[in-house]
Amino acid sequence: MPTASLPANFPAPSPLASRWAIDPTLVPLNHGAFGACPTAVLDAQRAHMDRMERDTVTFFVEDASKLLDRSRAALAPLLGCAANDVVFVPNASHGVHAALHNLDLAPGDELLTNAHEYPACLNNARQRCAQTGATLVVAELPWPVPSADALADALLANVTDRTKACLLSSVTSPSAVMMPVERVCRELRARGIEIILDAAHGVGFQHHDLKAWDVAWSTGNAHKWLCSPKGSGWLYVRPDLQPTFRPPVLSNSAQVREPVAAAAGRPPMHVEFDYVGTNDISAYLAIADAAEFLADAAGSIEAYMDHNRALALAGRDAVCRRLGVEPSAPDELTGAIAAIALPTTKPAADLKRALFDRWRIQIPVWEPRTATAGMIGIADTPVVRLSANLYNAIGQYEYLAEALAAEL
């Protein structure tokens, strides 16, 4: 779109937006969906691809695992685990699928989850239960969210003697809340229940403490809040589960991974996961470059997370003030994304289209829970979910507030 035809009050992004290649005629408020990769990180990825193509055989056969160690080392402190406990997957959907397929379920077992989980993950959980004869128990969570304890209570009330495992997000996608993971994990582990933690929004959003939480498996996307290239998911496996852990797709070393691992001086899990068939692993390698970029651009990863959280809260408050509505979740449960229930009966799809076409705002609007078309409906009215990153500025949320006021 030509800049001349933008609305007169079209807001400027932050000066750091020049480090990304985002269309300047957009107001990008949906980082939470697919992230956005800075140009310097894409350049680093390109350099990894160039190295791969100079000698593909040495790259895959000899170097890949060692090169991946750099990204494992970048992730480990953010996840609260040892670097060797991390392998790579294309994205969180693959990671959840892999975890579910390593979970022993039998008829009569229950797999606990909740209605605010991501649809792809719920689908994989349904499939796994159908394959094994187990029952999927989907807890309802309160919305608006009154407190961390209300979320934990709603989930834990569904635990029974048959609950074998729990699939839980550390940050929910539709309701954009940081779940009370510490308390939930403590209470589940006290009952011997294994945890699959979906940390799709995990790294670069909030610190995780996977070891202390004693989760069995966790997975997430570096392409979201670590601003890595697309296709840079990670998967954590608790050390005691690694000897039997297998990728859903077996590769060359599946039958001989222990001797191969011993000869190579690598953990057996790396031998299988670092080469699951031929694949472009340059996005995995660029995770370390993305972490370095963010630490440099914001001062540190902590400063980056603090910046995003403060901006999301300020943006959320600007919208709530202008529309005269209350935030849908307390501040302490809100990070770099915030969801707001909108006081309207207008169809969510129409609203989203108007925000994009008339105002050039890229933001998701969820359908209400009651709409059959709603993929992740959580409220009785449409819900808008805003994101904040280094390239955003507060003026963009004030503009969103004006746009919503006009459209509602």
Ligand X SMILES: Cc1ncc(COP(=O)(O)O)c(C=O)c1O
Query: Which residues here bind ligand X, judged by CB under 6 A?
Result: 33, 91-93, 118, 120-121, 169, 173, 198, 200-201, 221
Give min distance, CB of 103 to ligand X, in A. 17
Give min distance, CB of 311 to ligand X, in A. 19
Give min distance, CB of 114 to ligand X, in A. 11
Give min distance, CB of 361 to ligand X, in A. 19
- Is the distance from CB of 405 to CB of 41 less than 8 angstroms? no
Angstrom CA distances, 103 to 125, 144, 150, 244, 388, stand at: 11, 33, 28, 11, 35
End-to-end CA distance of the chain: 25
Q: What residues contact 315, with CB distance under 8 A and at least 6 apart? A: 29, 338, 386, 388, 392, 394, 396, 397, 400
Residue 45 or 65 with smaller CB distance to ligand X: 45
Give min distance, CB of 93 to ligand X, in A. 3
Residue 210 or 401 with smaller CB distance to ligand X: 210
- Is the distance from CB of 182 to CB of 53 less than 8 angstroms? no
Calpha distance 138→232 (Å, rounded): 29
Residue 79 or 261 with smaller CB distance to ligand X: 79
Calpha distance 381→347 (Å, rounded): 9
Helix, coil or strand: residue 226: coil
Residue 164 or 201 with smaller CB distance to ligand X: 201
Residue 105 or 178 with smaller CB distance to ligand X: 178
Residue 177 or 403 with smaller CB distance to ligand X: 177
Provide the b/e sequence for 293-326 (b: ≥16 CB within 10 Å).
bbeebbeebeebbebbbebbbebbbbbbebbebe
Give min distance, CB of 17 to ligand X, in A. 22
